[in-house]
A and B are shown apart, each in its own frame.
Chain A
């Protein structure tokens, strides 16, 4: 097997991309990290440290470059780890240098930002669809799950799931990214499900932050989590996904890990909402954007989603947090 086939290219030198690259390099995998920020590239190359992940020493097999052509020529398997706001631009840039043989997997647990300010959210658009719009290759996939950057760099046990319609994407992802016990990679064919589950877990993290901010009892909190997974599964099924994906690593796994600490922007947004601070558009998190987009999707697919609708109403300022919590609590129970 050639060096190119065994190299992982990472698009974006943010916290997650750098942590993933660091962990893989530690396990002997050759990694090329592409950043548009020349200072980050220089820092990594010269000091083996990144300002985005200052505590981590980056092993030698990890190289950084500001040249996308080099990334595409030296790695066929690429992981896109950028913010959902940047995904369109990065896909276009990457599209200039890759061909139909490349594999592109994204690790973006959100729904993409609208194409333009004036337009409303394209409700059926997922990140993989943005990738397909922007580049030649059809071999796209998603990497999701409860692997936090600190887990990847601290050699803790973590797991993610890779999903694609192409077996080749899933098989190559598993081969190139598996580094047990630091990272075990599970596989799935349910691209839509894993993308939606991952994005919705951000939305429900906002809900959990809000519930905690309102001092919701632990039993009601558990109900909130299970009902969130149930309604997310309904939405997923209506959108062509498998229901069980939502109780897997990308759905329940992500939700549990994001809602446990105080480092998640989505969780902190929920806490601030509970305190009565309604944030303006610019300050919304990926989870908040996912909530608003998913409510539109649910409406177009005629899926009942009381939790998500409650959160969206709070985000839009049409309901007070306690009113939303009351409404969610008052939802008529059907067969589970």
Chain B
């Protein structure tokens, strides 16, 4: 890996902050989104059936009535629309469509206030920690968060990423473990000399007025996951497309929601990622094939995860049917957030943000200066991927979806190598392996019912497991790497710091160490932390 930054190094050249012109552009962007969505829907409506405007409008009304009634809110406006639909002329329907697209566009669109950005980053990035202090007691929060910046370590392919940010537009695609990710990646970008990005954030995160203030003014746009109808998704995707076409660096969490299991994400949600292909295709059609877009894989690696308890409970409650939106987790409890900062971020490099090598929107690698290359290393023209036999740009949604799937596979393949293991992960994996050996199974549900004797393992065996795990990491960079600041630490020290972390923050200790034995007190959380290493096969295989 090249371009690893020293802890306190600042980049020589900082990328331009394009968001500074966002507010001037905002109305134009919004109008462009509305124009495109309405034009497309009107054109499609001519085929009738599910594409007819009557159906599209009814879909909106039906979904809104159902959502509002479920939450006990009034839905008269939508019932009225539903009633009027049958009697509406085509002109009326087009007008209603325009009005709705505009309404949802305004709901989505963000804002960027350079003064807020300057306040958040200029006075000291530690103040970004303010985001996590949705409390009346701001003073206490501020004090506890004073050194947040030093706790974030950013490294990886930052030079190439900066070159790509200068040449084109970045789409930053981090792994997603916590609501802390947005500010953590924000600080990570700043430390790496990369520009701030706009990003879609769940509307639930905007309910806190302090948080909302910063997010709204630092380029975030609102994504309301409760709105399931196609028209809303259209608006959202078009907004993202238009932002990219206009050169606004963006951030998507391809995992969608926070990863419940803590396993490195493999199945990525490709909806917003797909807007990168559309945006590039539009630029090629407009005669600007050199308006390149770059996908930047990033991992955010926490020593401990604020919301771990809720996330793993949700995962294990019913695998595959976990809640998509969680509103009552640790992130909503002020005390837990402060506790997190006091105890967890007291450790230097508690969060490592590791940047990978950028890809183009078709999943091709790029050279150091951002030229696309094929797998054999030859320079390729990315514009050719959207062209037909005569060099004309061809619209083909299925082709573009396939490109996006290929991009998703490349991204998912990049994450394990970029994973950084803290002592908490290594210790959790070592203890877990020993427990599994005792019980003769790796199935969490069986282990949860296992006799308590199986949950006790000798410290010596755990130390030997840590040694072997570290040796395997050195041999196989594709598995990820140890924390860059702690590679010289002895396994014994790793064990001490890991056990300390795992036994001091969460509501009950995960591990208990007594003389020569270690006991797992919270198997679910042990499973959660060892899951970060789940892509590393067991030693026997």
B-binding residues in A (CB < 8 A):
2, 4-5, 76, 92, 95-96, 99-101, 132-139, 165-168
Contact = CB atoms under 8 A, between A and B. Distances in A.
**10 closest A-B pairs by CB:** A100-B385, A5-B389, A99-B384, A100-B384, A136-B374, A136-B380, A76-B389, A167-B398, A101-B384, A101-B387
B378 A136 contact: yes
A257 B389 CA distance: 36
B95 to A, nearest CB: 36
A170 B259 CA distance: 37
B381 A166 contact: no
10 contacts: A4-B389, A76-B389, A99-B381, A100-B362, A100-B387, A133-B376, A136-B364, A138-B363, A166-B399, A167-B398
Contacts of B364: 136
A166 B380 contact: no
B366 to A, nearest CB: 13
B382 A167 contact: no
Contacts of B398: 166-168
Contacts of A138: 362-363, 385, 402-403, 406
Contacts of A96: 378
B397 to A, nearest CB: 9
Given A138-B385, A166-B402, A167-B399, A4 B375 contact: no
A100 B375 contact: no
Nearest to A138: B406
Nearest to A169: B399
Contacts of B362: 100, 138
A100 B382 contact: yes
Interface in B178-212: none
Contact of B378 (A5, A76, A95): A95
B378 A100 contact: no
Interface residues of B, number: 25
Contact of B399 (A92, A95, A136, A168): A168
Contacts of B328: none
Interface in B379-411: 380-382, 384-391, 396, 398-399, 402-403, 405-406
Contacts, number: 62
A249 B389 CA distance: 30
Nearest to B391: A101
Contacts of A92: 376
A176 to B, nearest CB: 11
Nearest to A132: B375
Given A5-B388, A5-B390, A138-B402, A100 B396 contact: no
B388 to A, nearest CB: 7
A139 B378 CA distance: 17
Given A138-B362, A168-B398, A99 B375 contact: no
Given A2-B389, A4-B389, A138-B385, 4 more contacts: A5-B388, A99-B384, A138-B363, A167-B398
Contacts of B399: 139, 166-168
B374 A135 contact: yes
Contact of B380 (A2, A4, A99, A168): A99
A139 B363 CA distance: 13
A175 to B, nearest CB: 12
Contacts of B381: 99-100
Contacts of A136: 364, 374, 378, 380, 384
Please report whether the interface of chain B is mostly helix, strand, loop or mixed according to DSSP: loop
B389 A134 contact: no
Contacts of B378: 95-96, 136
A133 B362 CA distance: 14
User: Which of A92, A101, A168 has the most CB atoms of chain B within a 10 A radius of its CB?
Assistant: A101
Nearest to B405: A165
Contacts of A5: 388-390
Contacts of B374: 95, 135-136
B273 to A, nearest CB: 16
B407 to A, nearest CB: 10
A132 B389 CA distance: 20
Contacts of B384: 99-101, 136
B375 A134 contact: yes
A168 B391 CA distance: 16
A63 B532 CA distance: 57
B376 to A, nearest CB: 6
Contacts of A165: 402, 405
Given A5-B388, A95-B376, A168 B396 contact: yes
A5 B406 CA distance: 25
A132 B363 CA distance: 12
Contacts of A100: 362, 380-382, 384-387
A255 to B, nearest CB: 30
A169 to B, nearest CB: 9
A190 to B, nearest CB: 14
B400 to A, nearest CB: 10
Contacts of B396: 167-168
Contact of B390 (A2, A134, A139): A2
A296 B203 CA distance: 50
User: Which of A5, A132, A138, A168 has the most CB atoms of chain B within a 10 A radius of its CB?
Assistant: A138
Nearest to B385: A100
B381 to A, nearest CB: 6
Contacts of B382: 100
Nearest to A95: B376
B191 to A, nearest CB: 35
Contacts of B389: 2, 4-5, 76, 101
B486 to A, nearest CB: 36
A101 B402 contact: no
B290 to A, nearest CB: 16
A133 B376 CA distance: 7
A2 B362 CA distance: 27
Nearest to B387: A101
B395 to A, nearest CB: 11
A13 to B, nearest CB: 23
B390 A4 contact: yes
Contacts of B391: 101
A76 B392 CA distance: 13
Contacts of A166: 398-399, 402
A4 B396 CA distance: 20
A141 to B, nearest CB: 12
A125 to B, nearest CB: 13
Interface string B107-147: 00000000000000000000000000000000000000000
A92 to B, nearest CB: 6
A135 B384 CA distance: 13
B406 to A, nearest CB: 6
Contacts of B387: 100-101
User: Which of B389, B390, B403 has the most CB atoms of chain A within a 10 A radius of its CB?
Assistant: B389
A132 B409 CA distance: 14
A234 B468 CA distance: 37
Contacts of A135: 374, 376
A1 to B, nearest CB: 8
Contacts of A4: 389-390
Nearest to A77: B389
A177 B333 CA distance: 65
Interface string B398-428: 1100110110000000000000000000000
A101 B376 contact: no
A133 B375 contact: yes
Interface in B319-368: 362-364
A99 to B, nearest CB: 4
A108 B382 CA distance: 28
User: Which of B374, B375, B388 has the most CB atoms of chain A within a 10 A radius of its CB?
Assistant: B374
A138 B400 CA distance: 11
Contacts of A134: 375-376
